[in-house]
Amino acid sequence: MTVAAKNAELRRPYSDLRDHLKALEEAGLLLTVDVPINKDTELHPLVRWQFRGGIPEEGRKAFLFTNVTDSKGRKYDMPVVVGAMAASPQVYSVGMGCALDKLSEKWVQAFNRPIAPVEVTDASCHEMIVEGAGLDVPGQGLDGLPVPISTPGWDNAPYLTNANFITRDPETGVQNVGNYRGQIKSPRRLGMNTSIELRTGGYIHWKKWQALGKPMPCAVAVGGPPAVQYAAVQKVPEALDELAVAGGLVGGPINVVRCRTVDILVPAEAEIVIEGYVSTEYLEPEGPFGESHGYVNLQEFNGVMEVTCITRRRDAIYSSFISQVSPSESSGIRRPAHTMVFLQHLRDVLGIKGVINVSLHEPLTNIRKVCVIQLQRDTPNTEVWRALYGAAALQRASGKLVIAVNDDIDPENADALLWALAFRSKPHLDMQIIEHKDGGHGPRDHVRGSEDSALLIDATLKQDYPPVSLPRREFMERAREIWEDTLGLQKLRPETPWFGYSLGDWSEELERQAELAVRGDYWETGKIAAQRRRSDVEMNTEVARDDDGES
């Protein structure tokens, strides 16, 4: 990396958090709350309601709290923003700087064409610096940050959630940026949970520093540029720096600056940077904490960081994630790129023909456990099963239920999935259990052990089926016009399937009879039926077809 000339107004081809919040406000996606809000008991529960209160996905927004207090009566001069990265797909789209239907394409570009960051010598994250004994002054250490309690009533402390832990491989020098939770333990002590089951880069680095018998240098960036935050939550190859992936997302290098007390490069436009060393000799109890798998994660022994320096912008904004039960900001920020990884693996790495799309189920299951693969109707059975096996094996903690469907089944609609399972699969023929699956992300099983299994289900069509029993599209569209325009009723939100369509088992004769019916000429069909009376068949016997497929 080259060193750029010192320049307070850094040129950059990307938005920082301030630019992003302004864009959200202009798009009507930012709600500013000026009344006093207690960060320990009210802040996250308030934002949580937009995920658990029946509010449609497109109605969710980012929340900016400007009057933050705590349970001790303290007032903070630092605002808190929650949901700014992925409260909804629309918020995520603004942060990524592209339309929703272009997200997968942009992630492919970022992974395939990463751009290394560029080091600068002047940075807004160094406008205020507190280090050494200054951290012991009340309000100058971690106690000065308005960190919310994420799951009041269960969590044992405030936790950093939107926290990009940046570490360095002592052998290669390659950095890793990972988003982990961090328990606030004292003004100079911060917890670190690196999610061992996901084999995060931070954990791998920690093991290497442990082998050297040295503490691990670490920096935690809070409120960095959106591109960095989006890259930090993705699973990328261990030799690839997430800051370079972020550069690939924005098409130019991310500005980084060297920390004051550790040899780590951090995003120059971060709101807050916490520097220090993670002990490789000792672990401390950490948790409970409400986790993204939807259950409270109980206490574990995890890493602890001794803080050596805190730098920040002069008017810093503290950024927090909504995690815990999905859907949440935590699952929303991960899902688009994770989906792309699965799709690219099946299509490009395994070369499976017929794969149209992959959907990682989000509500409650948190994008890891249920994977739905959409395939073309004519995909060979062997390719269907290669897709199922490939998705189940891609990631250790993902793919517990893997379901193959055709493109007429909406993978986002659990009712549609159950419909496909009920009528397009036979358990004894179309389901297989794969043993020795990593238990991964979820509550620990103390009764049956850590190993899990995966259920693979082929719920694709194996033959032509009769049409879906809903009115054809043109009749449903006309009825919608009457509903919304003529009658002035509330706007409809069509759910797939919302009109009938053929699945192959439909003859020209039956098509003609249906046309006669909508024209009011169904008496003709009745005359034909009378001519074809039979006395040699049982009730419910199917009408036989001739070679032309007509009745």
Bridge partners, residue 255, by sequence? 118
Helices (H) and strands (E) in the chain, counts: 14, 27
Which two tokens mark 233? Answer: 């939550």
Quick one: pLDDT at residue 330? 76
Q: Is the CB of residue 301 less than 8 Å from the CB of residue 284?
A: yes
Q: Is the domain defined by 17-320 classed in CATH 3.40.50.300?
A: no
Q: Where in the chain is the domain with CATH 3.40.1670.10?
A: 350-458
In terms of Cα–Cα distance, which of 98, 94, 101 is closest to 29?
A: 94
Distance CA 399, CA 402 (A): 6
* CA 462 vs CA 376, 405, 501: distances in Å: 12, 11, 17
Please indicate, yes or no, whether the overall pTM of this predicted structure exceeds 0.75: yes
3-class DSSP state of 75: strand
In degrees to the nearest 10, what's the CA dihedral of 388, 391, 396, 402?
-50
Which two tokens mark 54? Answer: 């029946």
- Which helix or strand (DSSP H or E) is residue 274 part of? strand 272-278
pLDDT in 10s for each residue of the chain, 551 residues: 334 434 434 578 899 999 999 999 999 999 999 999 999 999 999 998 998 888 888 899 999 999 999 999 999 999 999 999 999 999 999 999 999 888 888 988 898 899 999 999 999 999 999 999 999 999 999 999 999 998 898 899 999 999 999 999 999 999 999 999 999 999 999 999 987 655 678 899 999 999 999 999 999 999 999 999 999 888 777 778 999 999 999 999 999 999 999 999 999 999 999 999 999 999 999 988 887 777 788 888 999 999 999 999 999 999 998 887 777 777 777 788 888 889 989 999 999 989 999 999 888 888 888 999 999 999 999 999 999 999 999 887 788 899 999 999 999 899 999 999 999 999 999 999 999 887 777 777 778 877 888 999 999 999 998 898 888 999 999 999 999 999 999 999 898 888 999 999 999 999 999 999 989 999 999 999 999 999 998 998 988 654 444 44
Query: Is the four-CA dihedral 115, 250, 18, 231 of positive or negative sign?
Result: negative
Q: Where in the chain is the domain with CATH 2.30.110.10?
A: 17-320
The DSSP symbol for 492 reads P
Q: Is the CB of residue 347 less than 8 Å from the CB of residue 355?
A: yes
Distance CA 457, CA 401 (A): 8
Burial class (CB in 10 A: 0-12, 13-18, 19+), 101: exposed
Q: How far is CA 166 from the centre of its chain?
A: 21
- Which helix or strand (DSSP H or E) is residue 360 part of? strand 355-360
Q: Which phi and psi (to 5°) does residue 166 adopt?
A: -115, 125
Per-residue pLDDT of 218-265, as tens digits, reads: 999 999 999 999 998 887 777 789 999 999 999 999 999 999 999 999
Q: How many CA atoms lie within 13 A of 492 on its CB side?
A: 16
What is the architecture of the domain spanning 350-458? Answer: 3-Layer(aba) Sandwich (3.40)
